[in-house]
Amino acid sequence: MLLDGHEPILPDTDATGLRWRAATAGDLRNWADLIARTAAVEHPVWYEKHGDLVHVLESGKNDPRTHTLLGLDEGGTARAYGRITKNPDGDKANAMGCVDPDWQHRGIGSAVLAWQEALTRLRFAADAAAGYVAAPPRLRIRTEEQHGHQSALFTARGYGIVRWFNEMHRPLSGPAPEARLDTGLELRTFEPAFHELARLAHNDAFRDHWGSEPRDEESWRFTLEEPTARPDLSAVVLDAATGEVAGYQLASFDPDAAADRGFKEGYTELLGVRRGYRGRGIAQALLADAFRRFSGAGMDVASLDVDSANPTGALKLYVGMGYQAVNRSMTWEKML
């Protein structure tokens, strides 16, 4: 499948020693094994697993036949991969990828990144041709501060850091703080009846957040169906008068990460409060509820990731609830 009549040139096989093509369902185990091997050496806080890659292949907005790339050695073992995602009306593309540690320092990472940049240019052109608002092609990539080899690659190719993020932990050894809701607000366990209401709440809550774009039904479904998603550890706050979701906390638990890191963490994937309900203690109530749910499920810490320059004052909120920063990551960007 071509993008606007074109497709990016694949990395050179002679130069890289790898055969390149798009990922398919038959590659899932091979692909996941590559990422796991890389993670075993580089120790990222999070990495994609089999279930996440299934979602990648199911995407309707980012066709895996054009938006994924696998590099295979002579025996058929995956040694490198790359992909990009973009919303049709978005002003940026996001890239992910990795190179097997035994195959690094051979120019393969640079080859994958060049392919991602070429694909980003084509995708922006295709979206503009389809009638979406034209925008200059922009590629963003998220890395962790500990991975200096990635920073060196992006710096060499003209990327700059545009945002910092903090991974934050709160021990669950003590009691959860008390946080009461105003009359007319109800805290409820997250369930299917709240899926669409929570999506609408998310789009309202995050419309003033850097880098955020509205979630449509497909992208929201992918969020809710993540393999590590835990609706039983998630909650919404309902406005009894209107029936709308005023705020929500979506949680996950990754048993593989627990084995790797040596502790169990209840992770808050998303926390949002509608703009009209801010300042009423809803975020605090959702977090206090999450602490109780996490503790009851045998977790050791509550964790989340926060934009260091979040305009809603989220960093101050989390510190006030007992969180402490433990790792940093950054977003790199390049205008193509």
Is 240 in the same domain as 271?
A: yes
Asked whether the beta carbons of 83 and 65 are under 8 A apart, the reply is: no
Q: For 42-97, how does the pLDDT look when each residue is reduced to its tens digit (9 = 90+)?
A: 999 889 999 999 999 998 889 999 999 999 999 999 999 999 999 999 999 999 99
Those residues of the chain that have pLDDT short of 70 are 1-5, 309-313
Is 44 in the same domain as 102?
A: yes
Instruction: Give the CATH number for residue 26.
Output: 3.40.630.30
Is 204 in the same domain as 98?
A: no
Number of domains forming the structure of the chain: 2
Is 141 in the same domain as 173?
A: no
Among candidate residues 92, 31, 35, the one with its CA nearest the CA of residue 64: 31
At 1 the pLDDT is 40
Any idea which residue has 């990795």 for tokens? 98
Residue 275 within any structural domain of the chain: yes
The single-letter code of the amino acid at 6 is H
Is 82 in the same domain as 185?
A: no
Is 96 in the same domain as 212?
A: no
Q: Which residues of 147-186 are buried (b: 16+ CB within 10 A; e: fewer)?
A: eeebbebbeeeebeeebebbbbbbebeeebeebebeeebe
Query: Which domain range does residue 79 map to?
Result: 13-158
At 311 the pLDDT is 56
Alpha carbon of 124 to those of 18, 62, 92, 93, 215: distances in Å? 28, 12, 9, 9, 19
At 67 the pLDDT is 96
Write the DSSP symbol of residue 275.
G
Tell me, yes or no, if the pTM score tops 0.85.
yes
Is 189 in the same domain as 326?
A: yes
First to last CA, the chain: 23
Query: How far apart (Å, rounded) are the C-alpha atoms in residues 6 and 19?
Result: 20
Is 175 in the same domain as 153?
A: no
Residue 6 within any structural domain of the chain: no
Among candidate residues 171, 207, 210, the one with its CA nearest the CA of residue 308: 210
Is 214 in the same domain as 305?
A: yes
Is 140 in the same domain as 269?
A: no
CA–CA–CA angle 276, 278, 281 (5° rounding): 140
